[in-house]
A and B are shown apart, each in its own frame.
Chain A
Amino acid sequence: MQNEFSPEAPSRPTLTRRSIQALAATQAWARLAGIALLVLACVELALGVTKLFYPPALPANLQFGPHGMLEFTALHSILDAVMVIIYAATGWYALRYARKLEQVRPPLHPDSRDIVVALGAQHRYWRLQGVATIVFIGLSFVFIIAITIISVGLAVKH
């Protein structure tokens, strides 16, 4: 059986002082990003609610009529709701990463477990960011296709 002290054990890197300082310095930035993302979620929510009660004026080539306008507003609301969820979730994950980095900051002496927990939280943040980007791109395509279908349908009807 291999262990840390056996000659066959693979060499494991230790975190240098500079590495720990870089990780610790990240905490403030991760916290700032998390707070900004939560602010973004609140602003997006307020914008969505405002647009729901006061729909924006559409360009002349996109006049849907009362029925089409309802569909357009519904699509817009879904996209807004998804964006609010994405911003709130990524903000929460960024704040969680910042909290885990607290264990890494000097004068505390982090052990391997603290580093694993912090790096795991960072991995989950970037994974969520990647998935959220895929969802956003997909929804934007659906939104564009839906608007095209509504416009074409109305043009055929007239």
Chain B
Amino acid sequence: MNPSPAPLLDDAALAALGKTRPWLYFLGILACLGTAFAVLVLLIAFSIALHTARAHLLAWGGIVLLLISAPTAFVQLAYASALSRLSQARGAELPEAVELACVRQRSVWIVNAFTVGVLALVSLFQLLTTLHLVR
């Protein structure tokens, strides 16, 4: 029995990856800005003594934002750079560049699932708190 041949990554597949790149750069840069904003929020929260309820809320908001935006920025920009490398790769470099892009897209989706899960939990907590206050 012959093993099935490895699938070709044809022009259409390379084009699909190429079109994804600008969106990932855009989202990655926004996540970087989000990280900077989260750090600023945390600095403000810690500079105005943490014993007030508002500072506590600010600090928690900053921590959640940092947990979401820092890993997102890292993996999205890493995937976008792998896609840039793929677009420039020629000949023998191509399979290695494709492999790197595939591995990094998996990291992007792991972090994406984690951040969306954190957001869902925070929203669920907010809903429960609201329902508790309403009752």
A15 to B94 Cα, complex, angstroms: 10
Is the pair A40, B120 in contact by a Cβ cutoff of 8 Å?
Answer: yes
Is the pair B116, A37 in contact by a Cβ cutoff of 8 Å?
Answer: yes
| Interfacial residues of chain A within 3-34, with CB under 8 A of chain B in the complex | 11-20, 22-23, 25-26, 29-30, 32-33
Is the pair B95, A116 in contact by a Cβ cutoff of 8 Å?
Answer: no
Q: Chain A's nearest CB lies how many Å from the CB of B54?
A: 10
Interface-located stretch among B16-24, B36-44, B55-63: B16-24
Q: Chain A's nearest CB lies how many Å from the CB of B15?
A: 9
Binding site secondary structure of chain A: helix
B1-44 CB contact bits vs A (8 Å, 1 = yes)?
00011111111110011011001101100100000000000000
Is the pair A130, B10 in contact by a Cβ cutoff of 8 Å?
Answer: no
Is the pair A15, B106 in contact by a Cβ cutoff of 8 Å?
Answer: no
For A25, the chain B residues whose CB sits under 8 A away are 106
Is the pair A13, B117 in contact by a Cβ cutoff of 8 Å?
Answer: no
A17 to B110 Cα, complex, angstroms: 20
| Interfacial residues of chain A within 24-53, with CB under 8 A of chain B in the complex | 25-26, 29-30, 32-33, 36-37, 39-40, 43-44, 46-47, 50-51
Q: Chain A's nearest CB lies how many Å from the CB of B36?
A: 15
Given contacts A18-B103, A40-B120, A116-B10, contact A33 B130 (CB under 8 A): no
Binding site for A on B (CB under 8 A): 4-13, 16-17, 19-20, 23-24, 26-27, 30, 91, 94-95, 97-99, 102-103, 105-106, 109-110, 112-113, 116-117, 119-120, 123-124, 126-127, 130-131, 134
